[in-house]
């Protein structure tokens, strides 16, 4: 669930992530127990001052994937334009917080259906 930061319960912020509404690559994301307490507090203050520029997203757990280089946390996102599907992106991070330090990864989609349906 995603809501205005004003609607996220303050007493349960460990269950919520705050982020800029128009963020691009994960900059400015705050996640309790991943982001430092100081940084989370600073981001919370920014969201309080200008809530229309921020969102609060209910936190969910991602299962890390084992790679040759250790565990990574995958992230798959969807782009929309005017509410319509416009593309998919993928990222992978060494921490549960997929931010500007995450690596871009390819997302491959296999079409399953009749060739005449394309």
**What domains, with CATH codes, occur in the chain?**
1-60 (3.30.1490), 62-118 (no CATH)
Q: Give yes or no for residue 23 having a pLDDT over 90.
A: no
The confidence score (pLDDT) of residue 72 equals 95
Residue 54 near residue 47 (C-beta atoms within 8 A): yes
- Where do we find the tokens 């809530």? 51
Supply the pTM of this predicted model: 0.71
Mean pLDDT over the full length of the chain: 87
pLDDT digit string, tens, across residues 6-20: 888 877 767 889 999
Band of the pLDDT at 118, cuts 50, 70, 90?
low
Q: What is the mean pLDDT of residues 52-66?
A: 92
pLDDT digit string, tens, across residues 38-52: 999 999 999 999 999
Indicate the DSSP class of residue 88.
Answer: E
Q: What is the mean pLDDT of residues 72-85?
A: 88
Phi and psi (nearest 5°) for 71?
-75, 140
């Amino acid at each position: 669930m995603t809501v205005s930061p004003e609607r996220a319960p303050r007493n349960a912020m460990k269950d919520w992530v705050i982020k800029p509404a128009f963020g691009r690559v994960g900059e400015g994301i705050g996640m309790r127990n991943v982001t430092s307490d100081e940084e989370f507090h600073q981001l919370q203050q920014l969201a309080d001052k200008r809530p229309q520029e921020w969102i609060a997203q209910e936190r969910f757990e991602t299962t890390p994937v084992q790679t040759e280089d250790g565990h990574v946390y995958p992230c798959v996102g969807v782009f929309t334009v005017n509410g319509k599907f416009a593309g998919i992106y993928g990222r992978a991070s060494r921490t549960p917080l997929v931010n500007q330090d995450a690596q871009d990864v390819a997302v491959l989609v296999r079409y399953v259906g009749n060739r005449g349906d394309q």
